[in-house]
Amino acid sequence: MPSFTVTAAGQKVQLDGTGAAQAQYTVTNTSVDELSGRLLATPQDPAKGEWFTIDGEATREFAPAAAEQVRLQIKVPAGTPPATYSVRLDAVSEVNPDEDFTEGPSVAFDVTLPKPPVPWWKRFWWIFVIAGVVLLAIIGVVVWLLVRGNGNTTTTTNTTTTTNVNVVSQGQTAIKGTWLWDAESGQLTGQGDVWWEQETDVLRQMVPRGTATIANLGVVNFDSVTAQSLAAAPYTSIPIDGNNDGSNQLATGDVFAIHTDAGNYAKVLVTSYGYDLGIQWVTYQLGP
């Protein structure tokens, strides 16, 4: 019976815009003895071995019945043909490698054609909205002056629209480095609204995913940010700078907003900054 068991956190991971992802595994020594085990990233054809690296030492000492978390880094080079690829993590006993080994479950990932860049006018749509509001305000003032100058009196009837606000989710959690986070469920997931991208130890950014957009509100009173003010925020698809240096906009106390892929609105307070970003959030659903 093999001395190790290998389990995966999921059956599939999603590559980011640079072709990188992480697969999480748990390796357990099921024996009553301390064992030296060697971890192997085994690509499934046509994946290439140079795409995969194991964080930390490949050969490790396992205490009896001890489990270790193993992170397998995936980096697919540009120009790789679109397809579904997979890799597994194997554990081999250094004492008896020919007979005492375990093949872990495969984790798949899709390589797709790069998405075309978002047209500039879609990224800066809010400029056109502001320009339209200003133009309407100018027209309104001109009309009012003309009517006033002619000695006419106008009567305006105000119509109030009531908007129902429902809280979809709220709480506190941490967005782990390189993971995607979903504002409706509050969970780390493969199909989230934002991605806490870690390019290097310094270069970091919060990237909207899918049709979601974001807006950085700055250091403001979190409780004073309402669902209505979230709906009026200047959302874009431009990532928020979260670099681990003086340019960081996601410092503790910063508040940013998300217009989610599902059409809801979330306010997010940064409670602690680091590779894992501590947050407090409330997600609202606005309806008639």
Structure tokens at 168: 């979809």
Structure tokens at 82: 């679109």
The model's pTM is 0.46
Q: How far apart are CA 65 and CA 4, in angstroms?
A: 9
Query: What average pLDDT does the segment 215-222 reach?
Result: 96
- Kindly tell me if the per-residue pLDDT of 153 is higher than 70: no
Q: What are phi and psi of 85, to 5 degrees?
A: -115, 165
- Kindly tell me if the per-residue pLDDT of 161 is higher than 60: no
Structure tokens at 214: 């974001």
Q: Are 74 and 108 in contact (CB under 8 A)?
A: no
Query: What average pLDDT does the segment 53-78 reach?
Result: 95
- What is the model's pLDDT at position 267? 97
Query: What average pLDDT does the segment 48-70 reach?
Result: 95
- What is the model's pLDDT at position 229? 94
Q: How far apart are CA 244 and CA 250, in angstroms?
A: 9
SS3 (DSSP) at 50: helix
Q: Choose the weakest-confidence range: 52-61, 106-115, 173-182.
A: 106-115
SS3 (DSSP) at 194: strand
277 to 181, 184, 201, 230, 245: CA distances (angstroms): 11, 18, 14, 21, 15
- Kindly tell me if the per-residue pLDDT of 158 is higher than 80: no
Nearest to 273 by CA among 247, 244, 233, 238: 244
Q: How far apart are CA 205 and CA 17, in angstroms?
A: 12
User: Which residues sit opposite 214 in a β-bridge?
Assistant: 236, 258
